[in-house]
Amino acid sequence: MSYLWTTITVKDLDESLTFYQEIVGLPLNARFQAGPETEIAFLGDGETKVELITYKGKDAAPVGTGISLGFSVVSLEDKITFLKEMGIGIDGEIISPNPHARFFFIQDPNGLRIQFVEQK
């Protein structure tokens, strides 16, 4: 058995695609209608896969809470510089839970926590 992807329900698919492509750096693999009121997009590279799904015509999309997605980066400082250039601040401070990892969080357009991790 292997892990395939994480599905995230989003309010605005275009806004979320922009975020995950430009800020996180995931390429778009597919985007399609999955019914008259449902649109899906798959992003990812290698083993990292994210599915974004939106339900049109609904009053409120069931957006998850208490969930975060973690992505590996080579340099936290370089990522923070890029995020500042894009007008995105980090949530809190850089956290170093052990000598081998450092990370911080930002939020996607739906309020989902995104974690960028530098491993040594």
pLDDT of residue 11: 87
Name the β-bridge partners of 32. 40
Statement: residue 96 has pLDDT above 60:
yes
* Region for 45 from its dihedrals, namely left if φ exceeds 0, alpha if ψ lies in -120 to 50, beta otherwise: beta
Is the predicted pLDDT of residue 100 greater than 60, yes or no?
Answer: yes
In the predicted structure, residue 118 carries a pLDDT above the cut 80? yes
pTM of the model: 0.80
Query: Looking at the domain covering 67-120, what would its CATH class be?
Result: alpha beta
- Residue type at position 4: L
Name which CATH class applies to 1-57.
Answer: alpha beta
Q: What tokens were used for 74?
A: 């080579």
β-bridge partners, 115: 70, 105
The domain segmentation of the chain, as residue ranges, is: 1-57, 67-120
- pLDDT above 80: residue 120: yes
